[in-house]
């Protein structure tokens, strides 16, 4: 049996389950071993029945003395009721809608049950995990793994299948160099895999987790550092600082730059002046004014006679940047082009200057070309690209970012081959720890202050009974000439079904469950999101409700990722000129939009967003002179949800929110849901800053001594695989 052969070739996994496993990203036996538990239930202590107490999560062991099904006609449910008995007493157990249980569990079977002890006159277990006592316990009477699940694929099944194949873990290649294992005191791979799934103790589980997290971080750091070594060999064109130009441009701005804008711009100009490629991340909270900083860099580059590509994740945003740049650079005679479009078709701006000509013309005749992914299509090449700017860079995959800088190798006429300088920007404040992990070779410029005169957006968590009042408030604002956004969450199918799966098995339920962690597929780090169909549906339904029942007298429009680009433009233009009062949208509006007259951001299903994401959405308002409001709605009464959302009402610091998010929801959910593509490191190790640093320093040591990794062919091979994955995108 080969670890890389597809799961379809494994005996004992039926086609139905193969499909479900695929949904979890499990394609091979290797993937199965790397499908790590999200957490554990400690069912290792067996409690005597007489000692069970209400509310306790416990394991009891006993002989089945009675088991039978009854049907309740009212609720159309089957209830399986059983009693088990040990030397101290007996206790009732009930399961719902699992009539087949009476086939597998018989009187006189000795079983373990693990779960919460409830009280209804007498104590009983409700839907506990259970298993017959065999030599190898899986679900009870031990530390039990709880996995990321999907519809029809429970932790119970995963435990079964993983335990079945675990002996094959011996075949795993332990590519982590031995000296590192020694100095970091890490387990060997096989025992780590065995212990992460079926740990003998929580301490063992932790050691296993540490080893597996370390290997992932180490590989990532080795990759990042080897990229850096590569890049140090590359050359870029040095663009010397043009003081007069920049001074006159700054003087012409309609506002005064903030100190941090000036500082960031200065750092960028210094980088540009070197003949080594700039690789800088401009990080600043929503509304901190990144665009103008980028515009200054593009202006300088243009006036030096070179081209700048300015890439944004959505069409709406690309067009907005195009217009902003045209406005800001109006006096400087800089030709600006716009290229957007899907995979096949390239749309381009037919401005008066270049009407009727094709996109190639735009590329060659513009000093600044703004665009979406359309910019990195193969057929597009620049004449002399020396600066690439990527806005909302976490929305792009690693390969996409690399493509803009690498695949388009610019060789300005007659000059040696160079690659463009790269300026990435993000409005999602990435906590430093994460930035260090993912973009460990970037230089960082931070915009730490907001432009003067910005008002705080007042945020309220609105209880369901105040919904009408909220609608009245919106109406009031609109009467005063303002505008509102209503955002509906993305609702992922996997998310809902995992809820269902967990609900049927409360012993496995978890306080912060609900969203599945993505598998670590490096190629989708920050991949751009498209609207999920359900998300569109939710927004549509909301739109219809508001338009028909709540605000029939107001002008309401619907915006989502599946609306045709022309229509989208029209909607955005109409919203921009206040011809639309309320814009109902999916999170497509999350990034970058700048509509100063909008003062209300109403968010439905707020619990489905991360705090950082909510902060992004909130950043769509409060951009003008008017007091703005963010109204959060949730149907979830769960104390934890309420608490999490309340943070929004008191905290307006994007970085703090991001850190909170990372701690509360884990890295995979940091940017939203499954598309975030952050590594699925076992159990939150991404926030383990110390480990990140250790991994980084070990990677540096290895690469310094042996840049070609000749001594470590296994590591070299692993790194190659990792790189291939990234470039497969």
Query: Which residues would be at the binding site for ligand ADP (CB under 6 A)?
Result: 255-258, 261, 284, 286-292, 427, 451, 592, 594, 623
Q: At what angle do helices 639-650 and 654-665 cross, to 10 degrees?
A: 170
Smallest gap, in angstroms, from Cβ of residue 430 to Mg ion?
A: 15
Nearer to ligand ADP by Cβ, of 144 and 294: the residue is 294
Tell me how far CA of residue 408 lies from CA of 19, 279, 509, in angstroms.
39, 16, 49
Tell me how far CA of residue 437 lies from CA of 360, 397, 614, 667, 692, in angstroms.
38, 15, 23, 11, 7
Smallest gap, in angstroms, from Cβ of residue 525 to Mg ion?
A: 20
Smallest gap, in angstroms, from Cβ of residue 646 to ligand ADP?
A: 25
Confirm if 376 and 403 have CB atoms less than 8 A apart: yes
Distance CA 210, CA 199 (A): 13
**Bridge-based pairing state of the strands 122-126 and 368-371:** unpaired
Stretch that binds Mg ion, among 172-180, 233-241, 588-596, 659-667 (CB under 5 A): 588-596
Confirm if 424 and 295 have CB atoms less than 8 A apart: no
Smallest gap, in angstroms, from Cβ of residue 439 to ligand ADP?
A: 18
Smallest gap, in angstroms, from Cβ of residue 437 to ligand ADP?
A: 23
Confirm if 359 and 346 have CB atoms less than 8 A apart: yes
Distance CA 708, CA 695 (A): 18
Q: Is position 619 an interface residue for Mg ion (rule: CB under 5 A)?
A: no
Could you say which of Mg ion, ligand ADP, none residue 682 binds, taking C-beta under 5 to 8 angstroms by partner kind? Answer: none
| Residue 201: DSSP 8-state | S
Smallest gap, in angstroms, from Cβ of residue 575 to ligand ADP?
A: 15
Could you say which of Mg ion, ligand ADP, none residue 255 binds, taking C-beta under 5 to 8 angstroms by partner kind? Answer: ligand ADP
In terms of Cβ atoms closer than 10 Å to its own Cβ (0-12, 13-18, 19+), residue 310 is buried
Smallest gap, in angstroms, from Cβ of residue 347 to ligand ADP?
A: 23
Nearer to Mg ion by Cβ, of 337 and 592: the residue is 592
Nearer to ligand ADP by Cβ, of 256 and 345: the residue is 256
Smallest gap, in angstroms, from Cβ of residue 322 to ligand ADP?
A: 13
Query: Residue of minimal CB distance from Mg ion?
Result: 592
Could you say which of ligand ADP, Mg ion, none residue 421 binds, taking C-beta under 5 to 8 angstroms by partner kind? Answer: none
Our CA angle for 614, 618, 624, nearest 5°, is: 170
What residues numbered 691-710 form the site for Mg ion, per CB under 5 A? none
Smallest gap, in angstroms, from Cβ of residue 130 to ligand ADP?
A: 53
Nearer to Mg ion by Cβ, of 380 and 427: the residue is 427
Nearer to ligand ADP by Cβ, of 522 and 619: the residue is 619
Nearer to ligand ADP by Cβ, of 195 and 426: the residue is 426
Cβ neighbors of 383 (< 8 A, separation 6 or more) are 307, 363, 364, 410, 412
Distance CA 667, CA 661 (A): 8
Q: Is position 592 an interface residue for Mg ion (rule: CB under 5 A)?
A: yes
Could you say which of Mg ion, ligand ADP, none residue 174 binds, taking C-beta under 5 to 8 angstroms by partner kind? Answer: none
Smallest gap, in angstroms, from Cβ of residue 368 to ligand ADP?
A: 16
Smallest gap, in angstroms, from Cβ of residue 15 to ligand ADP?
A: 48
Token reading at 541: 């339904």
Smallest gap, in angstroms, from Cβ of residue 427 to Mg ion?
A: 5
Smallest gap, in angstroms, from Cβ of residue 619 to ligand ADP?
A: 6
Could you say which of ligand ADP, Mg ion, none residue 641 binds, taking C-beta under 5 to 8 angstroms by partner kind? Answer: none
Nearer to ligand ADP by Cβ, of 113 and 612: the residue is 612
Could you say which of ligand ADP, Mg ion, none residue 451 binds, taking C-beta under 5 to 8 angstroms by partner kind? Answer: ligand ADP
> Radius of gyration over alpha carbons of the chain, in Å?
28
Q: Is position 654 an interface residue for Mg ion (rule: CB under 5 A)?
A: no
Could you say which of ligand ADP, Mg ion, none residue 258 binds, taking C-beta under 5 to 8 angstroms by partner kind? Answer: ligand ADP
- Secondary structure (H, E, C), 139-172: CCCCEEEECCCECCECHHHHHHHHHHHHHHHHHC
Could you say which of Mg ion, ligand ADP, none residue 292 binds, taking C-beta under 5 to 8 angstroms by partner kind? Answer: ligand ADP
Could you say which of ligand ADP, Mg ion, none residue 289 binds, taking C-beta under 5 to 8 angstroms by partner kind? Answer: ligand ADP
Nearer to ligand ADP by Cβ, of 140 and 260: the residue is 260
Our CA angle for 346, 352, 353, nearest 5°, is: 85
Nearer to ligand ADP by Cβ, of 23 and 454: the residue is 454
Could you say which of ligand ADP, Mg ion, none residue 284 binds, taking C-beta under 5 to 8 angstroms by partner kind? Answer: ligand ADP
In terms of Cβ atoms closer than 10 Å to its own Cβ (0-12, 13-18, 19+), residue 230 is exposed
Phi-psi region of 101 (alpha: psi -120 to 50; beta: other; left: phi over 0): alpha
Tell me how far CA of residue 558 lies from CA of 313, 595, 598, in angstroms.
20, 16, 15
Could you say which of ligand ADP, Mg ion, none residue 328 binds, taking C-beta under 5 to 8 angstroms by partner kind? Answer: none
What residues numbered 335-374 form the site for Mg ion, per CB under 5 A? none
Q: Kindly write out the interface string for residues 536-575 of this chain, putting x where it contacts Mg ion by CB under 5 A and - elsewhere.
A: ----------------------------------------
Stretch that binds Mg ion, among 229-237, 370-378, 521-529, 586-594 (CB under 5 A): 586-594
Residues in the chain: 729
Query: Residue of minimal CB distance from ligand ADP?
Result: 289
Smallest gap, in angstroms, from Cβ of residue 9 to ligand ADP?
A: 50
| Residue 69: DSSP 8-state | E
Nearer to Mg ion by Cβ, of 37 and 592: the residue is 592
Beta bridge partners of 279: 422
Nearer to Mg ion by Cβ, of 522 and 592: the residue is 592
Could you say which of Mg ion, ligand ADP, none residue 287 binds, taking C-beta under 5 to 8 angstroms by partner kind? Answer: ligand ADP
Phi-psi region of 152 (alpha: psi -120 to 50; beta: other; left: phi over 0): left
Which one, of 383, 349, 367, lies nearest residue 308 by Cα?
Answer: 367
* Per-residue buried b or exposed e for 36-54, using 16+ beta carbons within 10 Å of the residue's own CB: bbbbbbebbebbebeebee
* Per-residue buried b or exposed e for 406-432, using 16+ beta carbons within 10 Å of the residue's own CB: bebebebeeeeebbbbbbbbbbbbbbe
Nearer to Mg ion by Cβ, of 33 and 322: the residue is 322
Nearer to Mg ion by Cβ, of 143 and 387: the residue is 387
Smallest gap, in angstroms, from Cβ of residue 424 to ligand ADP?
A: 13
Nearer to ligand ADP by Cβ, of 382 and 396: the residue is 396
Nearer to ligand ADP by Cβ, of 261 and 367: the residue is 261
Q: 């909510």: which residue's tokens? A: 614
Nearer to Mg ion by Cβ, of 282 and 380: the residue is 282
Q: Strand order of the sheet with strand 336-340?
A: 347-348, 336-340, 368-371, 307-311, 385-390, 421-426, 279-284, 443-447
Smallest gap, in angstroms, from Cβ of residue 623 to ligand ADP?
A: 6
Distance CA 181, CA 121 (A): 55
Could you say which of ligand ADP, Mg ion, none residue 594 binds, taking C-beta under 5 to 8 angstroms by partner kind? Answer: ligand ADP
Distance CA 274, CA 648 (A): 42
Binding region for Mg ion (CB under 5 A)? 592
């Amino acid at each position: 049996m080969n670890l890389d052969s597809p799961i379809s070739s494994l005996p004992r996994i039926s086609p139905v389950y193969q499909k479900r496993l695929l949904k979890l990203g499990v394609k091979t036996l290797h993937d199965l071993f790397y499908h790590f538990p999200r957490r554990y239930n400690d069912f290792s202590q067996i409690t005597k029945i007489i000692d069970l107490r209400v509310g306790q999560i416990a394991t009891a062991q006993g002989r089945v003395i009675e088991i039978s099904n009854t049907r309740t006609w009212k609720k159309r449910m089957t209830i399986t009721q059983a009693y088990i008995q040990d030397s101290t007493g007996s206790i009732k157990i009930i399961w719902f809608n699992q009539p087949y249980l009476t086939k597998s569990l018989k009187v006189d079977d000795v079983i373990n049950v693990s779960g919460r002890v409830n009280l209804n006159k007498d104590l009983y277990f409700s839907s506990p995990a259970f298993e017959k006592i065999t030599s190898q316990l899986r679900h009870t009477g031990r530390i039990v793994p709880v996995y990321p699940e999907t519809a029809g694929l429970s932790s119970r099944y995963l435990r079964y299948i993983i335990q079945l194949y675990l002996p094959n873990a011996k075949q795993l290649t332990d590519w982590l160099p031995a000296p590192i294992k020694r100095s970091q005191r890490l387990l060997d791979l096989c025992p780590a895999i065995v212990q992460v799934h079926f740990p003998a103790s929580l301490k063992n589980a932790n050691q296993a987790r540490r080893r597996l997290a370390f290997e992932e971080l180490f590989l990532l750091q080795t990759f990042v550092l080897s990229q850096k070594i590569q890049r140090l060999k590359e050359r870029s064109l040095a663009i010397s600082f043009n003081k007069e130009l920049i001074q006159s441009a700054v003087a012409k701005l309609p506002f005064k730059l903030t100190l941090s804008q000036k500082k960031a711009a200065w750092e960028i100009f210094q980088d540009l002046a070197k003949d080594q490629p700039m690789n800088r991340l401009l990080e600043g909270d929503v509304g901190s004014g990144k665009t103008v900083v980028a515009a200054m860099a593009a202006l300088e580059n243009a006036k030096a006679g070179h081209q700048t590509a300015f890439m944004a994740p959505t069409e709406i945003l690309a067009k907005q940047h195009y217009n902003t740049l045209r406005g800001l650079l109006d006096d400087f005679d800089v030709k600006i082009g716009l290229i957007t479009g899907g995979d096949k078709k390239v749309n381009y701006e037919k401005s008066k200057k270049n009407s009727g000509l094709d996109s190639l013309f735009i590329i060659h005749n513009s000093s600044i070309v703004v665009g979406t992914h359309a910019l990195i299509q193969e057929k597009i090449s620049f004449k002399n690209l020396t600066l690439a700017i990527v806005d909302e860079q976490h929305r792009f995959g690693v390969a996409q970012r690399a493509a803009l800088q690498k695949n388009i190798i610019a060789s300005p006429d007659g000059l040696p081959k160079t690659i463009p300088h790269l300026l990435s920007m993000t409005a999602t404040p990435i906590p430093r720890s994460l930035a260090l992990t993912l973009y460990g070779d970037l230089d960082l410029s931070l915009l730490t202050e907001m432009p003067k005169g910005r008002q705080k957006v007042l945020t309220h968590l609105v209880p369901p009974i105040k919904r009408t009042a909220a609608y009245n408030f919106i109406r009031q604002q609109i009467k005063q000439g303002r505008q509102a956004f209503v955002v509906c969450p993305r609702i992922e199918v996997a998310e809902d079904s995992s809820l269902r799966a967990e609900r049927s098995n409360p012993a496995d339920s978890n306080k912060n469950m609900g969203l599945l962690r993505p598998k670590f597929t490096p190629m989708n780090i920050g991949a751009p999101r498209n609207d999920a169909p359900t998300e569109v549906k939710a927004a549509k339904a909301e739109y219809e409700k508001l338009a028909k029942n709540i605000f029939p007298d107001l002008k309401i429009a619907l915006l989502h990722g599946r609306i045709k680009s022309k229509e989208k433009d029209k909607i955005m233009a109409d919203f921009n000129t206040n011809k639309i009062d309320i814009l109902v949208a999916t999170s497509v509006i999350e990034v970058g939009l700048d509509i100063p007259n909008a003062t209300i951001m109403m968010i439905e299903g707020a619990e489905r967003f991360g705090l950082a994401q909510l902060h992004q959405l909130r950043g769509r308002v409060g951009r003008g002179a008017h007091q703005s409001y963010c109204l959060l709605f949730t149907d979830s009464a769960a104390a934890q949800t309420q608490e999490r959302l309340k943070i929004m009402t008191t905290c307006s610091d994007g970085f703090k929110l991001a850190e909170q998010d990372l701690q509360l929801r884990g890295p995979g959910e940091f940017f939203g849901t499954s598309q975030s593509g952050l590594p699925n490191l076992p159990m939150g190790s991404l926030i383990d800053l110390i480990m990140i640093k250790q991994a980084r320093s070990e990677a540096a040591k290895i690469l310094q001594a042996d840049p070609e990794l000749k001594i470590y062919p296994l590591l070299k091979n692993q790194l190659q695989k990792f790189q291939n994955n990234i470039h497969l995108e």
